[in-house]
Structure 1
């Protein structure tokens, strides 16, 4: 069963889906999915829908949501700061604890959502475990590279730049430079799963090993890696997705 709800964040409406397992529980192991740049709670090629379908079969409750200006949520995505994305994730966590009896809370973030999930988890002790799929390691550099120098040069002459029909403001890019997830990941003390595709052309998979090495410096918390050979950024082929989700479920169930 899926429920679609809307919560208020500042003046915006943030839309979310709650996917319940078939069996009812007194408390739920809950996974909150954080999408990436101009994504949605559905995911490219239904990545997050497919993920949720398989997680709920295993008894997990899954919350998928659209950041401001994405999917069905109101507002303009490119007017966000990265701190706003963290705050919206926090709002979803707070909603979950108010509406659901939670046994364990796990954040799953993809791409930029992987960095946002980490930054959120560091400051919220309610997050016990973290899953980062193809996570951004250097937000300012990675997102600017995706936009390209020509498009970004337009910001020198005007207030806003268009990217796939979304309007982005200078404040968005300035905010990315304030966060360095690779440098702060050791502050998260819970267990971590890192997954990345070796053929990812959007976010290089060497970040997976850099994250791993930094997580290994911690006194608490384990880290495991899952490299999807020839995997692309959105794991869209059947074989890539099956390897990704089976490895993720195996990690979840082993704890």
Structure 2
């Protein structure tokens, strides 16, 4: 079951889709009175909640079929949401993500101890930065994540676009008007410096043929996550997958590896809770 909803965030209307799992006694189904884990999907730079080749739609439906609630949304100025993308910089994206968490935790059947934030590309960095300051996020999934926001995004837009924004006050990138405040905000946020503030479990996934964000970031992220005093970090490298996991095999591996990891973490935590009781 899917519902299209609108979430308010600082005067901006965020278009979102909420996926409910099936209820019953079959495999991957939840009991009607059970508290449910929720996965919140954060898309990447000038993306949408649909994803390239419907990546986020397929992911949400797969996870919902295995008992998860899933909430995917468009950042301000993207997809069907109101506002101008990047108008408030990276801080606005973090604030919007937290507004979506507010909404998710207002749903009666959601388990506040099983809030999962899944981000792709720049959305991966935003998810991490959000989790570092918002303790309600318990688990983090990062797909092909940006590690150096300014360098990585300027690498996508091109240096000329950045220079034009600085000189003229804005630049057009694929129809999006990006202003200096957006680029300036990218320099202020360093995911590698913030990740130790998140104590939950992390899954990193990256494709070996990613020409947008280097796969090396995945290995570096894991090394730094391992230095934390709490929380585990696993990684999955998808052979020959590009930045958006184009193609059925790459997409299926991405979704299945993510789903299986989440199910294992969920079972481990439930078993631990049963043992401690």
Q: Secondary structure at the match of 2:235?
A: strand
Aligned twin of 1:170: 180
| Aligned pairs (5 A) from 1:12-91 | 12-23=12-23, 24-91=32-99
What secondary structure sits across from 2:168 in the alignment? coil
Q: Distance in 1 between matches of 2:201 and 2:17?
A: 25
Per the normalisation by structure 1, the TM-score is 0.97
How far apart, CA to CA, are the structure 1 residues paired with 2:258 and 2:33? 22
Spell out the pairing of 1:187-226 with structure 2 (5 A cutoff). Answer: 187-226=197-236
Corresponding residue SS for 2:92: helix
Any stretches of 5+ residues in structure 2 without a counterpart? Answer: 24-31, 266-277
Match of 2:135 in 1: 125
For 1:160 and 1:229, locate their aligned partners in 2 and report how far apart those are by CA, in whole Å.
38
Contact kept? 1:197, 1:232, Cα under 8 Å? yes
- Structure 1, residues 133-165: CA drift from partner, whole Å, max 9, x if none? 000000011001111122222124311100001
The Cα offsets for residues 60-107 of structure 1, whole Å up to 9 and x where unpaired, read as 000000000001000110313101000000000001111242221100
Q: In the alignment, is the contact (CA less than 8 A) between 2:171 and 2:177 conserved in 1?
A: yes
Report what 1:11 is aligned to.
11
Q: How many residues align?
A: 255
Q: Which has the larger radius of gyration?
A: 2
Structural RMSD (CA) = 1.0
Q: Equivalences for 1:128-167 in 2 at 5 Å? A: 128-167=138-177
Structure 1 window deviating more from structure 2 (84-93 vs 117-126): it is 117-126
Q: 1:170 to 1:156 in 2, by over 3 A?
A: closer
Unaligned runs of 5+ in 1: none
**Segment drifting more, 242-251 vs 104-113:** 242-251
Name the CA distance, whole Å, in 1 between partners of 2:101 and 2:166.
37
How big is the shift at 1:8?
Answer: 1.7
